Amino acid sequence: MVPNEDLQFKGIIQLLLHFGWKWVGLMTPINEAGERFLQIIEPMLFQNGICSEFTEKVDCHLHFTGNILDMLDDTGILTPAFMSSKANVVVIYGESILWVTIAIEARNMIQLLLPPSKRKQRVGKVWITTAQTDFSLAFFKKPIEINIQICHGAFSFAIHSKDIQDFSDFLRNVKPSWADADGFTNNFWEQAFMCSLSNSTGSADICTGEEMLESLPAPYFEMSLTGHSYSIYNAVYALAQALHIRYSSEAISKRTKGGDRLSSQNVEPWQHHSLLQRISFNNSAGDEITLNEHGELAAGFDIINLVTFPNNSYVRIKVGKLDPQAPPGKELIINGNRIQWHSLFTQVPPLSLCNANCLPGYEKKKKEGKKFCCYDCDPCPHGMFSNEKGLETCTRCPPDQYPNQEQDQCIPKKPHVLGFGETLAMVSTFSVLLFSLITAMVLGIFIKHRDTAIVKANNRSLTYILLISLLLCFLCSLMFIGMPNKATCPLRQTAFGIVFSVALSSILAKTISVVLAFMATKPDSTIRKWVGKKLAYSIVLSCSVIQVGICASWLATSAPFPDVDMHSMTEEIIFLCNEGSVLMFYCVLGYMGFLAIISFTVAFLARKLPDSFNEAKFITFSMLVFCSVWFSFIPTYLSTRGKYMVAVEIFSILASSAGLLGCIFSPKCYIIVVRPELNNREQLIRRKM
């Protein structure tokens, strides 16, 4: 009348996992049942990540001599494995607990014989026993004097029991005179009360027969019904039910011709097996008792915690249960508030691990040649963290966070953007405003002196277009500063590309106009009809329209958009403008480079023209500056991230625009402002001659 034993093994595993015990010891008797226990439990331990530090097989056939040291000397074991084990939890199968208590008591007695400096620390373990173990310890004879406080805090899987009405009253009224022919009762009475019911020995006290069983301490007798006794009670009750069923079936059966009724007095025990299978009834305690098809009790186990007292008595406290009807993995129910732990433990629940749990910020690394439960603690790899003790591996932070220096928690990443409050942004803004102001002043000077010889000689209209486009180029740089948004991202590259293409187209038109004007001065030249404003405007317009078409295609197919980069930098989130199509981005830059190379080539060929038309020399130099800036821009741009990438682009825009402004217009402004006497037709003609 016991539940399926395999359920108990599952309960042991769940109890170990509930308290995080991964390093345990196993103790079994040397018999067939002990071997079966090991064959079942060891694979289950492995599958659940639990290791057994030792497996102790115990010969439980001890000879009770009254002297503990002699008993252990007979067994040949004075130093069991659990004495020096780091495992704080030992799973005991069967009656091995008797051997454990004797071994520890013997060790403690030996320690008392040693000097205080050589005494070892007392052993404190959590004992987990199976339902085969009976903690009543009735077999402990009083002369042995075992200290059962060793078992304080032990856990036991006990067969479910329930108090039967009037059972305690029955025990209080038990007298040895009730069973004169029952030798067991008389022997128990004499051993329990250390007296004699007869006058055969003169040394022992005479039993009065009025001794009270409830006066005996728990190790020798319990007034409550234990799981083993309850099982016997239910077994008798089940057999009575089976007999009742057989008698009832016989009472209603009819004699058949030539047949005899089956007499219950002649029934063999095995003939009751079919009746006991799947039997179900309610006992007098109110419990529903059901047997399955194998004749096993369809019930669970109680989890008992043993609490001992200095007078060598104890009480059993139910701290949980093992319910086979619960969902998988939730069969075990534990009430931790009711558990009593051994006083030797400094931490409760105690740890039982091969080595201490890894601290937060570390992960486990297997030790070579050791069981998988033994490990070293290695710091988390770069970019990973662990925020709890004993984690197997470190994990990565969410994309918007990064691990702190200790790698035990994640910290939100800071925004990384070239905001207007940044020093780099303030320097860039100041440079933009300064160059814009200079460009506006140059434009003002040229407008004011528009009727002078040097302004007329260099095509006033193209000069105005060039200066205005350079002014807009400087101002376009401001769109690169600040948080990217849906308005600035599509505009900043395309606006700069179009405006700067207008500037380069103007320079190309000026250069071509200079070359054509010089060639038109030759006698009978047919090129004279091409010289004029219409050609210059046509060059500027046609070259600019091509860039506008490229930018329009870019915006229509894969326009730039605000984006974030959470991976390039460890501690910051980069807010950027995703260019959408990288190919279109480089097409815009490539077209500006193409215009610059054409302008440079034409200007280089026209560098030896007469001085009055010598603007080609300055254009040649300005194109060299432009190409140098943008050829160095591409590798620098690709090797930087975040706000520094933006700063590189702003610098390239300012440097190339300032190069054009300085190289082309600084000599003219010098003559207009500082040397006005050179700004007349006679000087130009003289220089030409």
Which DSSP string corresponds to 195-231?
A: EESSSS-SSSEEP-S---GGGS-TTT--SSPPHHHHH
pLDDT of residue 499: 94
Reading the block at residue 497, the tokens are 């590309």
Instruction: State which fold the 5-160+300-338 domain adopts.
Output: Rossmann fold (3.40.50)
Report the distance separating Cα 365 and Cα 133, nearest Å: 39
Most confident of the following: 147-156, 437-446, 452-461: 437-446
Q: Where are the domains of the chain?
A: 5-160+300-338, 166-216, 226-247+270-298, 362-412, 423-688
Distances in Å between the Cα of 151 and the Cα atoms of 147, 148, 404 are 9, 6, 46
Whether pLDDT at 548 is above 70: yes
Residues 300-337 have pLDDT tens digits of: 788 889 888 887 777 888 898 888 777 877 788 898 88
Mean pLDDT of the chain: 78
Q: What is the pLDDT of residue 555?
A: 93
Of 64-68, 265-269, 575-579, 633-637, the poorest mean pLDDT is in: 64-68
The pLDDT of residue 386: 92
Give exposure, 202-224, as e/b (b: 16+ Cβ within 10 Å).
Answer: eeeeebeeeeebeebebbbebee
Q: Quote the crossing angle between the two packed helices 615-638 and 488-520, to the nearest 10°.
A: 150
Which residue has tokens 């395999």?
6
Provide the 8-state DSSP code for 188.
Answer: H
Percent of the chain with pLDDT over 70: 75
DSSP state of 17: H
- pLDDT for the residue numbered 139: 40
Question: Between 90 and 270, whose confidence is greater?
Answer: 90
Structure confidence at residue 613 (pLDDT):
46
pLDDT tops 90 at residue 685? no
Structure tokens at 495: 């606006």
Distance from C-alpha of 616 to C-alpha of 83, rounded to nearest angstrom: 99
Give the highest mean pLDDT range of 119-123, 203-207, 297-301, 376-380.
Answer: 376-380
pLDDT > 90: percent of the chain: 19
Q: Answer yes or no: is pLDDT of 462 > 80.
A: yes
What is the per-residue pLDDT for 614? 55
| Angle at alpha carbon of residue 274, lines to 271 and 275, rounded to 5° | 95
For residues 547 and 639, the answer to whether their CB atoms sit within 8 Å is: no
- pLDDT tens digits for 497-517? 999 999 999 888 888 777 776
* The amino acid at 390: G
pLDDT of 140 reads 46
- The per-residue pLDDT for 254 is 46
Does residue 689 register a pLDDT over 70? Answer: no
Q: Stretch 548-574: mean pLDDT, rounded?
A: 90
How would you classify the pairing of strands 301-308 and 288-290?
Answer: unpaired
1: tokens are 């009348």
Count other C-beta atoms under 10 Å from residue 675's C-beta: 10
The string of pLDDT tens digits covering residues 374-393 is 888 999 998 899 988 888 88
270, pLDDT greater than 70: no
Q: Which of 351-365, 481-495, 617-631 has the lowest mean pLDDT?
A: 617-631
Strand 23-29 to 51-58 pairing = parallel
Q: If you average pLDDT over residues 385-408, what whole number do you get?
A: 89
- What is 423-688's CATH number? 1.20.1070.10
Q: Report whether 255 contacts 296 (CB < 8 A).
A: no
Give the confidence band of 257 by pLDDT, cuts at 50, 70, 90. very low
Banded model confidence at residue 161, pLDDT cuts 50, 70, 90: confident
Read off the pLDDT of residues 210-229 as tens digits, 9 standing for 90 and up: 888 878 776 667 777 776 77
pLDDT, tens digit, for every residue of 72-92? 554 444 456 667 778 889 888
Q: How confident is the model at residue 441 (pLDDT cuts 50, 70, 90)?
A: very high
With vertex at residue 89, the alpha carbon angle to CA 24 and CA 140, rounded to the nearest 5 degrees, is 125
277: Cα separation from own chain's centroid: 50
Tens of pLDDT along 87-107? 889 888 876 565 566 555 555
